[in-house]
Amino acid sequence: MAGNIEYTTTGKPHPYHLVRPNIWPLISAFAGGFFATMMLMYFPGYREALAAGGTDLPFPWGPLLGVVAILICMFFWWKDVIYESVVEKAHTKIAELGLRFGMALFIASEVMFFVAFFWAFFSSALFPGQAIGFVWPPANIHTVPAFELPFMMTMILLLSGCTVTWAHHAVLHGDQKNAVKALGVTVFLGLAFLCFQIYEYAHAHFGFTEGIFPSTFFMATGFHGFHVFVGTIFLIVCWARAAKGHFTADRHFGFEAAAWYWHFVDVVWLFLFVAVYWWGGEIGMDHTAYHPAVESAAAAH
């Protein structure tokens, strides 16, 4: 609907955006269900059951097709959202307020997602059990030095937070040239961070299944890397939109949401660096001196 005013069936104007019927939410639900079903077929228990029956699953075309289906749905659904904002200008200030609350709640849910990983890490770090000798980090684990590659990755991510703020400042002042330049630098830094994380994983001295430290380390840092990947794609889309002049000083929530998400990724990484790499990986805690089980064993001897 053209302009900033929408109309009900009564013809009375209102500031709200009434979304037209759209097929992509339904297709997205089917795509997500298909992907989940295909993934279940590749879980170890299901694969073993098939192998026992003389059937082996080929290359995972099913999950890959599911991912492709989800990406197609994302592309066309979000294309419709951009059309509503840029062409129809249906995202009024009232509608934008709802989008802001939605993005804020989404980031809050992501915070709780990472709280679970930090909880698992600190539960084991503060109260290490007998299986790892009441010591954290476990004695058999060669941890990643915090102030080598992880520190450089921290600097890269913090610098990317500065460049995305530079881009936001440029958008607010109608400086499209600098907005595009700053977003390009941010995307480059995000990709550089991902490359260094892949390098770090390839040269780690422990594997995912080698104990509680590797499991919590890879889950926390790996999901953060996935969020950096998603955020980088988010910024690439904003980069292309900025080059097309979609963002103005008073209408740029699509970029602002990406900036919020990117700053969230920055903050989570700071907690990961301090808690997992530095404190949990280098300082650690030796509980053997005062743990009851160790004391009773020492008294018995």
Given a cut of 70, is residue 91 above it in pLDDT? yes
Confidence label for 20 from pLDDT (cuts 50, 70 and 90): confident
Given a cut of 50, is residue 247 above it in pLDDT? yes
> What is the C-alpha separation between 189 and 178, in angstroms, rounded?
16
Instruction: Residue 293: name the closest of 125, 134, 132, 123 by CA.
Output: 134
Q: Which residue has the higher pLDDT, 18 or 188?
A: 188
Average pLDDT, the chain: 86
Q: Give percent of the chain with pLDDT exceeding 70.
A: 84
Q: Give percent of the chain with pLDDT exceeding 90.
A: 59
Q: Burial level of 154, CB count in 10 A (0-12/13-18/19+)?
A: buried
8 A C-beta contact, residue 225 and residue 127: no
Given a cut of 80, is residue 139 above it in pLDDT? yes
Q: Which residue has the higher pLDDT, 15 or 237?
A: 237
Confidence label for 294 from pLDDT (cuts 50, 70 and 90): very low
Q: What is the pLDDT of residue 186?
A: 97
Q: What is the pLDDT of residue 49?
A: 65
Q: Is domain 1-91 given the CATH code 1.10.287.70 in the classification?
A: yes
Given a cut of 70, is residue 11 above it in pLDDT? no
Q: Which residue has the higher pLDDT, 82 or 7?
A: 82
Q: Please measure the distance between the N-terminal and C-terminal CA atoms of the chain and give it in whole angstroms.
A: 84
The tokens for 172 are 């607010």
Q: What is the pLDDT of residue 16?
A: 78
Q: What is the pLDDT of residue 272?
A: 95
Q: Would you list the domain boundaries of the chain?
A: 1-91, 93-300
Fold of 93-300: Four Helix Bundle (Hemerythrin (Met), subunit A) (1.20.120)
Mean pLDDT of 102-107: 96
- What tens digit of pLDDT does each residue of 37-88 get? 888 877 766 666 666 666 665 557 788 999 999 999 999 999 999 998 888 8
Q: What is the pLDDT of residue 39?
A: 85
Q: What is the pLDDT of residue 127?
A: 87
Q: What is the pLDDT of residue 298?
A: 46
Q: What is the pLDDT of residue 9?
A: 54
The tokens for 291 are 């743990």
